[in-house]
Amino acid sequence: DQQVKQNSPSLSVQEGRISILNCDYTNSMFDYFLWYKKYPAEGPTFLISISSIKDKNEDGRFTVFLNKSAKHLSLHIVPSQPGDSAVYFCAASDVTGNQFYFGTGTSLTVIP
């Protein structure tokens, strides 16, 4: 049962433009959402998180939006840089934090 879905396996964006990565979930009990960036042969690196009491969280070039009614979140990267090229995973947990469910990832390529 795929509780967290990233329907776009890949995305290409020109340097300086906005990258929008999307994530959908099915479990209404999820309260906490995270985005990770992953380079090959490395562990996921935390980027930004959002809890269900918010609909937006911003950290520098990264903004996460949460639409609870649609069970959808998105990560915006503005402006995109070539160093942002990586696989991005969204993950979700309920309030206990006992288990995190990961999406399948979106491979972002930022073209110089």
Enumerate binding residues for another protein (CB under 8 A): 31-32, 34, 36, 41-46, 49-54, 57, 89, 91, 95-105
Q: Looking at beta carbons only, is 57 or 109 nearer to another protein?
A: 57
Which of 110, 106, 87, 88 minimizes the C-alpha distance to 14?
Answer: 110
Measured distance between the N- and C-terminal CA atoms of the chain, rounded to whole angstroms:
38
> What's the min distance (Å) between Cβ of 59 and another protein?
11
> What's the min distance (Å) between Cβ of 70 and another protein?
20
Q: Looking at beta carbons only, is 42 or 112 nearer to another protein?
A: 42
Q: Looking at beta carbons only, is 71 or 79 nearer to another protein?
A: 71
> What's the min distance (Å) between Cβ of 15 and another protein?
27
Q: Distances in Å between the alpha carbon of 16 and those of 29, 84, 102?
A: 36, 11, 28
Q: Looking at beta carbons only, is 10 or 51 nearer to another protein?
A: 51
> What's the min distance (Å) between Cβ of 103 and another protein?
7
CB 19 within 8 A of CB 81: no
Q: Distances in Å between the alpha carbon of 85 and those of 20, 61, 80?
A: 13, 14, 9
